[in-house]
Structure 1
Amino acid sequence: MKAFVDKDICIGCGACTGTCPEVFEMDDDGLAVAIEDEISDDLEESAVEACEGCPVDAITVE
């Protein structure tokens, strides 16, 4: 499973980093990025929660 952030949509609210900091972080521009290519099984639920909690639907987890 992988996570992706569409930086054209991201507003930099930080909700994803608050929910799943093991997978998401904020870059120098204040926008979210996925920090792991493959999400480990123990983090999948948290990554999906971050995806669902994104207020602008900028995150995809597949």
Structure 2
Amino acid sequence: MAYNVRAYRVTKLLSQEQLGFAAGLDRTFISQVERARVNVSLDNIDKIAAALDVPASTLLVRP
């Protein structure tokens, strides 16, 4: 999931701060997600996916 979040974020030209703001999450949390340092709840996966405008299932697919 970490790789996919970063890949979609970079593709959409968003900073971690911009993604965090759009998802209603802190920038440091987005950073931890991208580095696979935290376990992400389904609610937060859904928020990140909505902010990236992708289905949540695409974030969970192994790259």
Question: Structure 1-normalised TM-score?
Answer: 0.42
Q: More helix per residue: 1 or 2? A: 2
Q: More strand per residue: 1 or 2? A: 1
Question: Structure 2-normalised TM-score?
Answer: 0.42
